[in-house]
């Protein structure tokens, strides 16, 4: 059925997962995010998440695998996995990167006024 989004995360979705995301959405600042994720995750887990995000951003910007490998130190397997999510996933990266770009443009326009 076209238009119905089937998420992998739905396989484990329950009240605890909903509460977890509600908690993240309740964070009000970057500093609160730093504190929360510092409490929640190990440094290696944080580094892994940040690396995947940077890989996605660079793929979105049409950077090559070799440039991405060099700048992020991600393996080609990680890059390929992120690429699958970026281009065949739920369009969440596209939505996020476009939203960030809009916010940057709005900020630039406000600064010029």
- Residue-wise pLDDT for 75-112, tens only, equals 999 999 999 999 998 999 999 999 999 998 987 777 77
Query: Looking at residue 60, which CATH number applies to its domain?
Result: 1.10.1270.10
Confidence of residue 35 (pLDDT cuts 50, 70, 90): very high
- Residue-wise pLDDT for 38-64, tens only, equals 999 999 999 999 999 999 999 999 999
Residue 50 structural domain: 41-112
Under DSSP, is residue 72 helix (H, G, I), strand (E, B) or coil?
A: helix
Phi, psi values for residue 105, rounded to 5°: -65, -40
**Helix 43-60, helix 65-72: angle, nearest 10:** 150
- For residue 75, being part of any structural domain is answered with yes
**Structural domain count of the chain:** 1
pTM score of the predicted model = 0.83
- For residue 98, being part of any structural domain is answered with yes
Cα–Cα distance, 95 to 87 (Å, whole number): 12
Under DSSP, is residue 63 helix (H, G, I), strand (E, B) or coil?
A: coil
- For residue 103, being part of any structural domain is answered with yes
- For residue 29, being part of any structural domain is answered with no
- For residue 95, being part of any structural domain is answered with yes
- For residue 6, being part of any structural domain is answered with no
């Amino acid at each position: 059925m076209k238009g119905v989004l089937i998420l992998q995360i739905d396989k484990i979705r329950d009240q605890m997962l909903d509460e977890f995301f509600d908690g993240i959405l309740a964070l009000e600042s970057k500093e609160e995010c730093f504190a929360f994720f510092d409490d929640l995750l190990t440094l290696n887990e944080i580094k892994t998440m940040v690396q995947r995000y940077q890989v996605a951003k660079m793929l979105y910007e049409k950077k090559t695998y070799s440039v991405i490998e060099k700048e992020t130190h991600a393996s080609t397997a990680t890059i390929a996995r992120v690429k699958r999510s970026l281009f065949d996933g739920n369009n969440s990266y596209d939505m996020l990167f476009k939203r960030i770009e809009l916010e940057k443009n709005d900020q630039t326009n406000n600064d010029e006024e």
